[in-house]
Amino acid sequence: MKKFVPLIFISLFCLGALLYVNYSKRSPVKKARYFPFYGEKSLSATNDTVYHTVGAFSFINQLGDTVSTASLKDKNYVAEFFFTTCKSICPIMNRNMMLVAEKIKGDGNFKILSHTVKPYEDSVPVLYKYAGEHRSDNSQWYFLTGDQDALYRMARYSYLVTTDSIQKGSKDDFVHTQLFVLVDKDRHIRSYYDGTSEAEVQKLILDIDSLKKEQRLNAVEGK
């Protein structure tokens, strides 16, 4: 009888392994999530989850280089909209954005995208001077210009920072918002912050840490 005991244990072990594998295949693998995705929707028909995604773009930065969806592949970033001659909210926003820039300093996987809403005034040389005034690292903090229609479409339909319905081309067609947008490497919006509030910006800085932790954990787990 004793010689059958090891065989019984081996059989039980194999059975347990088979049950575990079968359970693992049936159980969906869930990614770590430290805070939500903006615009999350569940498709009941397929049981899938979809998220709002920032659309493709291509603009020019303060160095005259192209910054696009392709060049930011697998990068997290914070986006905002401003203009260099603004005397109201923009100076406050970009003083606060300097805190974010200090936070991500040296992190090649994090960028800042500051889009001008007055591209007819904010040329590349103007943006370069403005970037210098804000002690920006030109490899991390991009001040972007380009086609006005494209910039406004990004603000309204990709970053969703304004809900106005001003007719395109009218004298009132203008984007002016204090919102900062945290976007992950998959171009999903994770949260919004009032860029004129230092308390909100400090929350953004904490959320940047949380996003990094989330992504590190998912990388370890192979998700």
The pLDDT tens digits of the residues spanning 110-125 come to 999 999 999 999 999 9
Mean pLDDT of the residues in the chain: 85
Site of tokens 């904010």: 122
pLDDT in tens, 167-188: 555 556 889 999 999 999 999 9
Distance from the Cα of residue 51 to its chain's centroid: 13
Site of tokens 């603009």: 59
Fold for 53-220, please state it. Answer: Glutaredoxin (3.40.30)
Whether the model clears a pTM of 0.75, i.e. scores above it, the answer is: yes
* Contact assessment for residue 155 and residue 175, using Cβ atoms and an 8 Å cutoff: yes
- Pairwise CA distance, residues 139 & 149, whole Å: 26
In this predicted structure, the answer to whether residue 154 has a pLDDT above a threshold of 80 is: yes
Angle made by CA atoms 57, 62, 68, in degrees to the nearest 5: 20
